Every structure is written in C-alpha cells, then in structure tokens.
C-alpha cells in the first residue's frame, strides 16, 4: 500500500515537472518579452475577464445547489460560491490531477452536510458538469463545420476529444447509478487486490451508493436545471475567448470563439490528469489557433493570459481557504450523521 502511494506521488511529480517544462519551453521559444508585451495590452480589461470567471463560479454554485436542493436549503449561495472558488484555486496550485480542490470542497462542505451527502453531491455535480461539456463541444464543432472554418488538422483531435469525453461521462454515470457496490464487487472479481478494501468499507460504500441513487432519482427538471447552469458557465468561457481575441488585436465572431473554447475544453478534459493543465492548456491554445490560421504568438498569448487569470484567482482563493478551514469544524466523535 505504501509503495503504491509512493508510485502515485512520483507519477504526479513527473506530470507536474513535464507540464511546467512544456510551459517554460513554449514561453521561452516565443520569447518572454514578446509574451509580456501581449499580456500588458490588457490593462483594466483583465478585470472584465476576472468578472466573467467569477460568473463561471456563480453558475457552478447554482448548479451544485440545484442538485442537492433539500440538503443545501438554508446554506447561503455565497458560501457555495466560495467553496467552488477555493476548489478551483487548489486545483491550480496542487499537483493532484485536479482532485485536490474537490477533496477540499468535500472537507469544507462537511460543516453543513454529512460526509456521504457531500461526496455524493460532488460526484453527481462533476458528472453533470462534464455532461454539459459534451453538447457544448458538439455545438462548437458543428458551428465551425457549418460556418466553413473547421480546420482539417483538428478534425481527428475533435472527434477523439468528444468520444473520450462521452465514454468517460457515460461510464462514470453508470458506475454511480448502479449504486457503486455491485460495480466494485464485479471489479473485485477481476482484480482480487480490491476485494479486501471493498469488504472493509462495504457499509460505507453501500451508504454512499444509496445517496447517489437518490440524487439520480430526483425529477428530471432538476437535473436539467443543474445541467443548464453548467452549460451557462461554459458560455462565459466563450465570452472570455471573444474578449481576449479582440484585445489582442485579432477580433473574431462568437462562432469562432465558441469553437476555440470548445476545442480547448475537449483537450483539457482528455488531459484532466495533468495537474492544473500546465503546458497542456497553453499548448492547446497555440495549436488550435495556429491551425485556424492565426499566428502562434496569439494562441500562446491567450493561453498565458488565461493562466495569469487562474493564478490571480488562486492567490485570492488561498485566504478564503484558510478562513473556511478555521470555521469548518469536523463532526464530534459520537456524530452518527455518516
């Protein structure tokens, strides 16, 4: 067990170093001064980009509240917003394959939810979030195809991103809707080392499975509403792309901005194990925009500007995290909330 943990930690470190090395190479190859000159063009427009990202978190908080309406009734929306904000900040900073932030959200939300309720809610929320990404990507690809500006070199990557994302969401959702324990038991027959862990935690797994099944059995209108909030969140990313291109001096229409954002979202989803998508996000912007006929500098500049925005939000999120950690007390030893 300890050996496996060391292997996972070593793998995360390798991913981080690879991403940082790729990021450094891309910036150095283009020229640090050249990139900084592009970033400096933003001025107060950077504040507008930050407001758009804040709207992203607001829509995500509304989706989370919609999914767990009964359990989150009475919890201020601002508090859910803060936890989404903190989660994204930690995902940016921690070498945890985008899981560190969700672990923090799980821990901090236990001040108003039981552990099983919090974990089930986060799993369903992430499933709906990624589920909203699939039609978003499809819409972006179809708009580009119909508009005649879909670059041929991106056809295969687009299909692969869409197929991998769809398969991942369907498998993840099916895993949860089955109640988890039957699926894990079947996996244990294939991989005997899992059997002991499943037996030891059988009661907890069954309880979590019940919470998940309950969330998936809510009225479809509620699930659709949560999906809609996540879809709206992704549309703020389209506005961000549209604005950045205009400030960089290469204005595009909303259709082009939709395609760029959808393509980047697809690549980031496929490479979700890369901590913070360092290097991957910047490289994907460069590759996509260059394939569309824009100078490589514009694509990389867009990726770097979005990275600066993420780092600014991460810096703002850390004080929120420490404040929330102090006010979040763990349940007492005799607490039976589960």
Q: Is residue 6 part of a domain?
A: no
The contacts of residue 314 (CB under 8 Å, 6+ apart) are: 88, 89, 90, 92, 93
5 in any annotated domain: no
In the chain, what is the straight-line distance between the N-terminal and C-terminal CA atoms, in Å?
26
- Per-residue confidence at 327, pLDDT binned at 50, 70, 90? low
Whether 207 has a pLDDT exceeding 50, the answer reads yes
**Angle, helices 296-327/100-108, rounded to nearest 10 degrees:** 30
Q: How far apart are CA 334 and CA 245, in angstroms?
A: 56
Give the DSSP letter of residue 276.
G
Predicted confidence (pLDDT) per residue in 242-279, tens digit: 999 999 989 999 999 999 999 888 887 777 666 667 77
pLDDT digits (tens, 9 = 90+) for 63-79: 999 988 877 777 888 98
Q: Which of 52-66, 68-82, 193-207 has the highest mean pLDDT?
A: 52-66
pLDDT digits (tens, 9 = 90+) for 32-50: 888 888 888 888 888 999 9
Q: Does residue 44 belong to any structural domain of this protein? A: yes
Lookup result for tokens 């929330």: 324
> How many CB atoms sit inside 10 A of residue 338's CB?
13
202 CB-side CA count, 13 A? 7
In a domain, 186, yes or no: yes
**Residue at token pair 């850390």:** 318
Helix (H, G, I), strand (E, B) or coil at 43: coil
Instruction: Report the pLDDT value the prediction gives residue 17, as an integer from 0 to 100.
Output: 78
pTM of the model: 0.81
Residue 182: band (very low, low, confident or very high) from pLDDT cuts 50, 70, 90: low
Asked whether residue 334 is assigned to any structural domain, the reply reads no
* C-alpha to C-alpha distance for 154 and 162, rounded to whole angstroms: 12
Mean pLDDT estimate for the chain: 80
Classify residue 298: in a domain, yes or no: yes
Q: How many domains does the chain contain in total?
A: 1
What is the maximum alpha-carbon separation in the chain?
64
Supply the range of the domain harboring residue 277. Answer: 13-327
200, 236 contact by CB (below 8 A): no
On whether the CB atoms of residues 123 and 165 are closer than 8 A, the answer is no
Q: Rounded CA gap, 264 and 275, in Å?
A: 16
Domain membership of residue 314 (yes or no) is yes
- Do 13 and 95 contact (CB within 8 A), yes or no? yes
Whether 336 is covered by a domain: the verdict is no
């Amino acid at each position: 067990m300890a050996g496996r943990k060391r292997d996972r930690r070593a793998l995360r470190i390798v991913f981080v170093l690879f991403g940082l090395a790729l990021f450094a190479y891309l910036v150095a190859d283009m020229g640090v001064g050249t990139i900084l000159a592009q970033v400096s063009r933003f001025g107060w427009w950077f504040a507008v980009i930050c407001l758009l990202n804040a709207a992203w978190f607001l829509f995500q908080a509304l989706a989370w509240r919609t999914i767990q309406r009964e359990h989150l009734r009475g919890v201020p929306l601002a508090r859910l917003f803060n936890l989404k904000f903190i989660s994204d900040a930690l995902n940016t900073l921690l070498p945890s394959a985008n899981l560190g932030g969700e672990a923090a959200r799980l821990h901090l939300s236990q001040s108003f939810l039981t552990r099983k309720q919090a974990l089930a809610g986060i799993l369903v929320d992430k499933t709906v979030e990624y589920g909203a990404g699939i039609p978003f990507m499809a819409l972006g690809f179809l708009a580009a195809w119909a508009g005649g500006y879909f670059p041929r070199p991106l056809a295969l990557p687009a299909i692969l991103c869409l197929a991998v994302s769809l398969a991942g969401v369907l498998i993840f959702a099916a895993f949860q809707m089955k109640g988890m324990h039957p699926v894990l038991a079947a996996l244990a027959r294939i991989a005997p080392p899992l059997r002991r862990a499943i037996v030891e935690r059988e009661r907890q797994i069954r309880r979590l499975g019940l919470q998940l099944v309950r969330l998936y059995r809510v009225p479809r209108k509620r699930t659709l509403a949560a999906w809609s909030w996540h879809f709206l969140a992704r549309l703020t990313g389209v506005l961000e792309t549209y604005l950045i291109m205009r400030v960089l001096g290469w204005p595009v229409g909303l259709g082009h901005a939709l395609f760029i954002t959808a393509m980047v979202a697809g690549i980031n989803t496929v490479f979700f194990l890369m901590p913070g998508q360092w290097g991957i996000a910047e490289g994907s912007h460069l590759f996509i925009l260059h394939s569309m006929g824009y100078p490589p500098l514009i694509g990389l500049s867009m990726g770097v500007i979005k990275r600066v925005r993420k780092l600014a939000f991460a810096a703002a999120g850390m004080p929120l995290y420490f404040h929330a950690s102090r006010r979040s007390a763990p349940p007492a030893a005799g607490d039976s909330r589960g």
